Structure 1
Amino acid sequence: MDVGERIEAIFAAAGVSASLHVVDLDAADGPESGGGEVGLRADEQVVIASIFKILLVLEFARQVVAGQLDPAERILVTAADRLGGWGLAGCADDAEVSLRDLAYFAMSVSDNTAADLLLRRVGPDLLPMLAAELGLTRTRILGGPRHLVEVMLADVGARTEAEFARIFPALPAERVLAMRVFDPARTTSSTAREITRLLTLIWRDEAGPAPACAMVRDWMARQIFWTRLAAGFPPGVRVSGKTGTLPGLHLEAGLAEYPDGGRYAIAVFARTDLLSTRRIDVDLAMGEAARTAVDALRGN
């Protein structure tokens, strides 16, 4: 089997459909000329969920370097600010953190509360403009985490997150999959190819000033989740990433950096009809598929 067939077989064994794009950042011919890349439905429009946070922290970092924002500015996070998820969302008490720490939490644990507060500060209207500036013509940013929660509540007829938590598990699968958050035309979405382009620009210091790109790389390297892309690579390979998760959607974009200097931008977006978010088999398949693509580019 060729590499595409091997990757298809990995996803089929996990019972998912997926899109994938992997790029060798330093290939002599490069993806622009059709070399140095492996793709599988790489131009399919897909929901990206929390992957959008890469653009968010990039915009924040650019504003910091430009002197428009003070990264040490303090933000008080209250009960009214909390959204479902990790990090500040789980705090029982008010917390005061810096803008810089909001960016860290948004990337390291995909903290929705931190991302929502940071988005308010940098300006939500700027993210579509940033995507356009970077040539991401098919990347659509339609609000942040709070907007996503509001849309999900409205689609199931819930007034609060607690009410949503009671209603959602009893919904039939077809009702869930009809929600706007699962439709790339009606929510934040992109393609695997465009996300690897974004990563390539960040790792080449071409997505903004070099210090801003370095900040994003540092935050992505501190992500705590390791069961997806990172699980596919051996010790010694540095994997930086950003996950995205919704029921039935397992997403991650990141960079694999080898000790010999090889650098590979990766985007894998998997979808399953089983709506559980805890599918370790799917996560591991994503890492295996990424490693298979990188091995092919490395001639292994």
Structure 2
Amino acid sequence: MTETSTHTNSAQQQIAAVLAEAKTDAFVHARDVDSGEEFGYGADEGVILASVFKIPVVLEYARAVAAGTLDPTEYATVTSEYRSGGIGIGGCADDVTASWRDLALLMMSFSDNAATDFLYERLGVDSIVATMRQLGLEKTNLNLDCRGIFTTIYEDLGLEKTTVLEFPEIDVLNTMSIMDPARTNSSTPREITMLLAAIWRDEAGPTAACEEVRTIMSKQVWPHRLSSGFPDEVSVAAKTGTMPLIRNEAGVVMYPDGNRYAVGVFTKSYELTDRAPKIDLSIGTVGRIAVEALRNN
């Protein structure tokens, strides 16, 4: 057995143990941004992106700015039709006026759904998907904004949108569109790290666009998932994603020695709960194990 396979097998076993303790499944991929070396754990499985789909959206925004087709300082008003709940503008009582660049920041820093949908409509899903295909991401499918995702939930449950939403038992939940990668925004862990590596290598668009995405992603406010697995001297730029049973994060971790690793961890819990601190922490732990496998190799 080679040294490389020894490290890989050890990492696989460690990840399995962490996931068993957290009572969750996970699909993982880590990629050395510069060498291309990879580590995977179910890396080619179809996964539900949840808010990780906002990474392709922010990339398309930055490409439009770089191309001169969108003025980032132009002001736009997000009205009530875009508010589907959540934090930020999505939960505001009144219309909010902001620049496009601030909407992009709100979308990525704390996952503002209303800002996302406003940008999604302005950019156009066809353009976003076309960029993914240009970058070689054939299994990354985006067909719903945040409002569209909520609409499928109400439709699957046979509820009016004015009804207070309460999720059903797991057996019913698992039959719904939001739990099926074929019917919601989806990708694979390997493709998501491919996208991130392209952004960090300035290959996902003009250099200015890639740099803007990196800057925006570095301002995410959530430290409880991927960041939790790494020491303070390791920088993390990432995006979370959360839905019933689903907790994800994808991003790039940057070490003081200059090495950079794209990481995607996508989990699906065995239990339906609003709070799952063990799963949140497992995302950081699993991400670190995957990166250490690459560094040890």
- Counterpart selection for 2:195 from 198, 206, 209: 198
Amino acid across the alignment from 1:4: Q
Q: What are the equivalent positions in structure 2 for 1:34-73 lying under 5 Å apart? A: 36-73=37-74
2:163 maps to 163
SS of residue in 1 equivalent to 2:31: strand
Deviation readout 1:184-223 (Å, 9 max, x if unpaired): 0111100000000000000000000000001110111000
- Counterpart selection for 2:284 from 261, 284, 287: 287
CA distance in 2, matches of 1:190, 1:277: 24
CA distance in 2, matches of 1:261, 1:59: 27
1:272 maps to 269
- Counterpart selection for 1:263 from 260, 263, 274: 260
CA distance in 2, matches of 1:261, 1:206: 19
Task: Please say if residues 245 and 277 of structure 1, whose CA atoms lie closer than 8 Å, have aligned partners that are also in contact.
Answer: no
CA distance in 1, matches of 2:171, 2:229: 32
CA distance in 1, matches of 2:274, 2:249: 13
Task: Please say if residues 156 and 164 of structure 1, whose CA atoms lie closer than 8 Å, have aligned partners that are also in contact.
Answer: no
2:208 maps to 211
CA distance in 1, matches of 2:187, 2:94: 36
Alignment gaps of 5+ in structure 2? 1-8
- Counterpart selection for 1:5 from 13, 24, 27: 13
Deviation readout 1:248-299 (Å, 9 max, x if unpaired): 1011100110111010100000101212242111010110111111122222
CA distance in 2, matches of 1:164, 1:204: 45
Amino acid across the alignment from 1:201: A
Task: Please say if residues 249 and 277 of structure 1, whose CA atoms lie closer than 8 Å, have aligned partners that are also in contact.
Answer: no
Deviation readout 1:67-116 (Å, 9 max, x if unpaired): 10111121112223211211101212221111111110110011110000
CA distance in 2, matches of 1:172, 1:286: 24
Q: What are the equivalent positions in structure 2 for 1:88-107 lying under 5 Å apart? A: 88-107=89-108
2:173 maps to 176
- Counterpart selection for 1:252 from 249, 253, 262: 249
CA distance in 1, matches of 2:39, 2:81: 44
Alignment gaps of 5+ in structure 1? 31-35
CA distance in 2, matches of 1:281, 1:75: 40
CA distance in 1, matches of 2:290, 2:125: 35
Fraction of identical pairs, as percent: 45
Amino acid across the alignment from 2:70: L
Deviation readout 1:42-71 (Å, 9 max, x if unpaired): 000111111111000101110111010111
CA distance in 1, matches of 2:169, 2:59: 38
2:127 maps to 126
CA distance in 2, matches of 1:132, 1:151: 25
CA distance in 2, matches of 1:277, 1:271: 13
SS of residue in 2 equivalent to 1:267: strand
Q: Using the TM superposition, give the Cα deviation of residue 120 of structure 1 relative to its aligned residue in structure 2, in angstroms.
A: 0.8
1:33 maps to none
Amino acid across the alignment from 1:145: C
SS of residue in 1 equivalent to 2:163: helix
1:151 maps to 152
Q: What are the equivalent positions in structure 2 for 1:5-24 lying under 5 Å apart? A: 5-24=13-32
CA distance in 2, matches of 1:125, 1:145: 16
Runs of at least 4 residues off by over 6 Å: none
CA distance in 2, matches of 1:194, 1:249: 18
SS of residue in 2 equivalent to 1:20: strand
TM-score for the superposition, normalised by structure 2: 0.94
Q: Using the TM superposition, give the Cα deviation of residue 164 of structure 1 relative to its aligned residue in structure 2, in angstroms.
A: 4.0
1:112 maps to 113
SS of residue in 2 equivalent to 1:163: coil
CA distance in 2, matches of 1:297, 1:26: 12
The number of residues matched between the two structures is 289
TM-score for the superposition, normalised by structure 1: 0.93
